[in-house]
């Protein structure tokens, strides 16, 4: 545990993987918005890496999405139309 009570992921490879995934997600979301003419609207960063999940502190690092309600509904609709990952 760190002094502030935050557990860190000890495996640098897992950390790097989560950071890379967050960057990929950020880039894909930006491209999706641009393709729909939404690039001109102010959009904050939507993906970030966190060291662990509160539910699974010793598990794999997580990527957190920070979308406003309209964007979250758009993403849910988009994902609902896709084939499941196998």
The reported pLDDT for the residue numbered 2 is 45
Q: Tell whether 2 is covered by a domain.
A: no
Note whether residue 3 is domain-resident: no
- CA pseudo-torsion sign 48, 54, 56, 57: positive
The tally of domains found in the chain comes to 1
Which letter does DSSP use for residue 85 in this model?
Answer: P
- pLDDT of 77: 87
- Answer yes or no: are the C-beta atoms of 47 and 37 closer than 8 Å: no
Q: Per-residue pLDDT tens for 26-75?
A: 888 888 888 888 877 666 677 777 666 666 666 677 778 888 888 888 88
pLDDT number for residue 10: 63
* Model confidence band, residue 3 (pLDDT cutoffs 50, 70, 90): very low
Domain of 16, in residue numbers: 12-81
CA nearest neighbour of 75 among 46, 42, 45: 46
Which residues in 1-86 belong to E strands, given as ranges? 47-50, 62-65
86 assigned to some structural domain: no
């Amino acid at each position: 545990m760190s002094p502030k009570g935050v557990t860190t992921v000890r495996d640098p490879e897992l950390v790097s993987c989560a950071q890379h995934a967050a960057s990929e997600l950020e880039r894909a979301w930006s491209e999706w918005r641009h393709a729909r003419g939404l690039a001109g609207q102010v959009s904050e960063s939507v993906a970030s890496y966190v060291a662990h999940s509160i539910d699974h502190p010793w598990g794999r690092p997580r990527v957190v999405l920070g979308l406003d309600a309209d964007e979250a509904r758009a993403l849910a609709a988009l994902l609902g139309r896709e084939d499941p990952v196998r």
